């Protein structure tokens, strides 16, 4: 009995002194180690008279807990003090710059193509493609633009051979021909891509982008064409209302043909689409010419529909306030960084086309 009390008193007084972590651990081992003072008392339990054993065990446990708690408390105090001391030393200037990162960007033309595809996807168009190098037939003849047609002069064509049989497509319309030759009607496609004309000045680039649209079915008329384009332009410019004007024009591969203007005004040096009384030509369209349908073995007495062609670069310029077409292809780091889009900004219908 007195043994226990002695141990207790001795160590409590010891623990009251100023101790470091090593000294505490030493005490801990002196008491609770394999042959520690408390541990050896536990071993004695079996030898104690049964009548006193219960009390002895109970007292021993109380002392053990008391001492253990005290030691732990002391250890915690010291550890806490140590951490505080360390923290006080570890202050760093967090305003120093982070590790450097680089941002990649998506070209505005690519972003615009994704926006266009997203809009037409909603109303059931799928995306078709065609080669950049075309033959004369697909680019002109099949599109009701025979050789010696003055309309060919409007396309300054890049040729790849002296016979002028192979060329860089001057528009995306040959994709109409390829699509219709490959499948059977109905057709409902858009075809974005690169197009080429040997024309180069402030407002013309020898390469530019177009998106072709084609919808052929039974009973598709000019009203559907107007509705489709009206829907597209509204969605694309993300406006509720749009002023749109259909103007008669002429393309060999459509009849009747139209050019489409949208209303705009300039406010504070910025172009506002859909308001004002100025007109801006943005696309050409029309009902697919029966001769074209015949050329691709589609019966024009059974099927009819519309086609359109839109300049993608121009749309991008209008929507994003870019005023120089040639800069699109100049790869100036500063321009790409300024007008490019974050790769995570994928245009979708539910998230919206643009932020």
Partner 1 sequence: MKITFDWLKDHLKTNLKEKDLLEQLTNIGLEVESVEILSSDNQLFKVAKIIKTEKHPNADRLKVCEVNVGEKELKKVVCGATNASEGLITIYAPPGAIIPKTNTKLEIAKIRGVTSYGMLCSESELNLSDESDGITELSKKYEKNIGKSYFSKSKSNLIDLSITPNRPDCLGVKGIARDLAASGFGRLIISKEKKIKLKTKQTLKVKINKEKGQGCSAFGSCLIKNVKNTESPQWLKDKLISVGQKPISAIVDITNYVMLDINRPLHAYDADKIEKGIIVRNSKSGEEFTALDNKIYKLEKGMCVISDKKGVLGLGGIIGGTRSGTEFDTKNILLESAYFDPRSIRNTAKKLNLDTDAKFRFERGIDPLSIETGLKKAALLIQEICGGEVSKIDIQKIESYKTKNINFDVNSFENIVGFKISEKEIQRILTDLGFVIKKEKKFLKLTVPSWRPDISQQIDIIEELVRISGYNKIKTIEPIKDRSKSTLTQTQRLFHFLQRAIASKGYLETITWSFTDQSYNDHFRETNKEVKIVNPISSELGVLRNSIFSNLIMYMSKNLDRGFKDLSIFEIGPVFTGSNPGEQKTIVCGLSAGKKSRLSWIDKERNIDLFDAKRDVVQTLSEAGYNSDHFFIDSKTPNYYHPGKSGRIFLDHSKDKVAAYFGEIHPNILKKIDIKTENLIGFEIFLENLKLSRKTLKDRKLKFAVSDFQKSERDFAFVVNKDVEAQELISVISNVNPNLISNIKVFDVYEGQNIPDNQKSIAISITIQSLEKTLNDKDLEKINNSIIEAVEDKTGAKIRS
User: Residue 157 and residue 306: Cα distance in Å, rounded?
Assistant: 25
Please give the residues from 41 up to 80 whose contact with partner 1 meets the rule CB under 8 A: none
The residues, any chain, with a CB within 8 Å of residue 184's CB and separated by 6 or more, are none
Tokens 């009203």 found at: 223
Nearer to partner 1, 8 or 107 (CB): 107
Please give the residues from 148 up to 187 whose contact with partner 1 meets the rule CB under 8 A: 148-151, 153-154, 158-162, 164, 166, 168
Cβ atoms of 258 and 251 closer than 8 Å: no
Minimum distance from residue 118 beta carbon to partner 1 (Å):
8
The residues, any chain, with a CB within 8 Å of residue 48's CB and separated by 6 or more, are 56
What kind and span of H or E run contains 304?
Answer: strand 304-311
Minimum distance from residue 254 beta carbon to partner 1 (Å):
10
What kind and span of H or E run contains 72?
Answer: helix 50-89
Cβ atoms of 108 and 341 closer than 8 Å: yes
- Which listed range, 11-19, 49-57, 73-81, 194-202, lies at the site for partner 1 (CB under 8 A)? 194-202
Q: Does residue 141 sit in helix, strand or coil?
A: helix
Q: Does 87 bind partner 1 (CB under 8 A)?
A: no
Minimum distance from residue 251 beta carbon to partner 1 (Å):
9
Nearer to partner 1, 91 or 334 (CB): 334
Nearer to partner 1, 228 or 318 (CB): 228
Q: Is the dihedral of CA 254, 172, 165, 138 positive or negative?
A: negative
Please give the residues from 195 up to 254 whose contact with partner 1 meets the rule CB under 8 A: 196, 198, 200, 206-207, 219, 221-224, 226-228, 230-231, 245-250
Nearer to partner 1, 270 or 334 (CB): 334
Nearer to partner 1, 249 or 354 (CB): 249
- Which listed range, 49-57, 77-85, 99-107, 267-275, lies at the site for partner 1 (CB under 8 A)? 99-107
How long, in residues, is the chain?
355
What kind and span of H or E run contains 166?
Answer: strand 166-168
Name the β-bridge partners of 251. 254
Nearer to partner 1, 44 or 352 (CB): 352
Please give the residues from 122 up to 151 whose contact with partner 1 meets the rule CB under 8 A: 122-127, 129, 131-135, 138, 148-151
Number of residues that bind partner 1 (CB under 8 A): 89
User: Residue 106 and residue 108: Cα distance in Å, rounded?
Assistant: 6
- Binding string, 8-47, against partner 1, x = CB under 8 A? ----------------------------------------
What kind and span of H or E run contains 230?
Answer: helix 222-237
Backbone angles phi, psi at 210, to 5 degrees: -130, 160
Minimum distance from residue 164 beta carbon to partner 1 (Å):
8
Binds partner 1 (CB under 8 A): choice among 30, 278, 336, 354: 336
């Amino acid at each position: 009995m007195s043994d226990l009390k002695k141990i207790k008193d001795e160590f409590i007084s010891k623990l009251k002194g100023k101790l470091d972590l090593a000294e505490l651990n030493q005490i801990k081992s002196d008491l609770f180690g394999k042959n520690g003072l408390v541990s050896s008392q536990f071993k004695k339990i079996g030898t104690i008279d049964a009548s006193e054993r219960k009390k002895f065990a109970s007292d021993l446990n109380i002392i053990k807990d008391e001492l253990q708690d005290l030691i732990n408390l002391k250890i915690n105090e010291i550890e806490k003090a140590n951490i505080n001391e360390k923290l006080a030393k570890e202050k760093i200037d967090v305003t120093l710059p982070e590790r450097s990162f680089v941002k990649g960007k998506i070209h505005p033309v690519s972003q615009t193509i994704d926006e266009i595809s997203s809009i037409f996807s909603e109303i059931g168009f799928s995306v078709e493609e065609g080669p950049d190098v075309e033959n004369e037939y697909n680019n002109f003849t099949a599109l009701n633009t025979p050789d010696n047609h003055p309309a060919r002069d409007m396309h300054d064509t890049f040729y790849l051979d002296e016979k002028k049989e192979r060329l860089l497509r001057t528009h995306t319309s040959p994709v109409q021909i390829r699509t219709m030759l490959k499948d059977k009607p109905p057709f409902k496609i858009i075809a974005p891509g690169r197009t080429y004309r040997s024309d180069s000045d402030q407002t013309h680039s020898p390469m530019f982008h177009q998106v072709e649209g084609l919808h052929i079915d039974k009973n598709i008329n000019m009203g559907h064409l107007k509705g489709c384009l009206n829907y597209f332009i509204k969605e694309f410019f993300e406006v509720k209302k749009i002023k749109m004007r259909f103007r008669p024009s002429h393309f060999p591969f459509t009849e009747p043909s139209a050019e489409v203007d949208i209303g705009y005004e300039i406010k504070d040096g910025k172009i506002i689409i859909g308001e004002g009384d100025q007109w801006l030509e943005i696309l050409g369209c029309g009902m697919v010419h029966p001769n074209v349908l015949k050329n691709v073995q589609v019966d024009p007495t059974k099927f009819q529909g519309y086609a359109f062609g839109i300049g993608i670069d121009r749309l991008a310029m209008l929507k994003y306030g870019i005023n120089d077409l040639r800069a699109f292809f100049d790869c100036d780091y500063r321009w790409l960084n300024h007008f490019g889009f974050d790769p995570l900004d994928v245009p979708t219908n539910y998230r919206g086309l643009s932020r």
